[in-house]
């Protein structure tokens, strides 16, 4: 049910260092699932930008994105009431596991946003949700309060120790002695590798560099972890995979 739609910007706010939150009004919101992304056309740029969906309401959705280049810089300068050409929703989502009582959600930096909708849906199912967020420094921290407001047990780690627990998300899990072992994570490769060394149950998502975003160009492929010569497109079969499925 992916579609192209002209969607209206409702707000666009700077929430942390180089990090922006944009609220959009769109019919396609009704089809969105946690972990999926949209492809946004930015005037003057040929390639659309893949940006993960952070939360969904009836006819609205939110994206949280990082300004990393000219395209996202331009996106950050767009105001409410302007329109964007958006294609989506795209990719796989985090399957919801009704049988799990405790969910451990692990997010690193720009990997944090898609986990918010997931946490929201597990909380709606009355699950105990632990959220561990990792950032580089205090200025980069976002969404701690938002996860707390959902009723999640939230821990924050920063690499330089300027906020929360000093170190990685794994350090924070140790320090907080979190025992839950069904994990849903999203973040940089190094973080996913560390999660994979410790946990075998759950799902992970990696924000790959994508080109077409719709499965046509093979720019985003990841190797299968077990089968030789088998590849998966992060944009199409992913971005969410079971732990141990792909080589991150």
Asked if residues 164 and 175 have their Cβ atoms less than 8 Å apart, the reply is no
Beta-bridged to residue 108, according to DSSP, are 134
Q: Does 211 contact ligand FES by CB under 6 A?
A: yes
- Nearest of 241, 38, 188 to residue 233 by alpha carbon: 241
Q: Does 222 contact ligand FES by CB under 6 A?
A: no
Distance CA 37, CA 50 (A): 6
Residue 186 or 220 with smaller CB distance to ligand FES: 220
**Minimal distance in Å, beta carbon 7 to ligand FES?**
21
Here's the x/- map for ligand FES, 118-157, by CB under 6 A: it reads as ----------------------------------------
Count of CB atoms within 10 A of residue 230's CB? 11
Distance CA 235, CA 220 (A): 7
Q: Does 47 contact ligand FES by CB under 6 A?
A: no
Distance CA 105, CA 152 (A): 10
Q: Does 219 contact ligand FES by CB under 6 A?
A: yes
**Minimal distance in Å, beta carbon 217 to ligand FES?**
3
Distance CA 28, CA 3 (A): 7
Q: Does 210 contact ligand FES by CB under 6 A?
A: yes
Which position among 68, 80, 149, 217 is part of the footprint of ligand FES (CB under 6 A)? 217
Q: Does 2 contact ligand FES by CB under 6 A?
A: no
Task: Looking at the chain, list the stretches that DSSP marks H as alpha helix, in order from N- to C-terminal side.
Answer: 70-76, 113-124, 144-149, 169-176, 189-198
Which position among 212, 223, 224, 231 is part of the footprint of ligand FES (CB under 6 A)? 212
Which position among 103, 156, 220, 222 is part of the footprint of ligand FES (CB under 6 A)? 220
Give the interface with ligand FES as residue ranges (CB under 6 A).
210-213, 215-220, 233, 235-236
């Amino acid at each position: 049910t992916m579609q192209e739609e002209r969607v209206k910007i409702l707000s666009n706010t700077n929430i942390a260092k180089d990090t922006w939150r944009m609220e959009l009004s769109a019919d396609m919101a009704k089809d969105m699932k946690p972990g999926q992304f949209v492809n946004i056309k930015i005037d003057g740029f040929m390639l659309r930008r893949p940006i993960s969906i952070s939360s969904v309401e009836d006819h609205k959705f939110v994206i949280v994105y990082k300004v990393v280049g000219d395209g996202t810089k331009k996106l950050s300068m767009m105001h409410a009431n302007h329109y964007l050409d958006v294609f989506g929703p795209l990719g796989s989502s985090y399957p919801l596991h009704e049988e799990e009582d405790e969910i451990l959600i692990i997010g690193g930096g720009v990997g944090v946003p898609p986990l918010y909708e997931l946490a929201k849906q597990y909380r709606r199912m009355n699950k105990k949700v632990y959220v561990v967020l990792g950032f580089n420094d205090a200025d980069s921290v976002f969404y701690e309060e938002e996860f707390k407001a959902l009723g999640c047990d939230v821990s924050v780690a920063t690499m330089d120790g300027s906020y929360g627990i000093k170190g990685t998300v794994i350090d924070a899990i140790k320090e907080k002695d979190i025992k839950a072992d069904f994990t849903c994570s999203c973040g940089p490769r190094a973080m996913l590798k560390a999660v994979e060394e410790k946990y075998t149950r759950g799902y992970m998502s990696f924000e790959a560099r994508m080109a077409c975003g719709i499965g046509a160009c093979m720019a985003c492929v990841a190797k299968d972890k077990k089968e030789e010569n088998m590849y998966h497109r992060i944009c199409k079969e992913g971005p969410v995979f079971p732990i141990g499925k792909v080589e991150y």
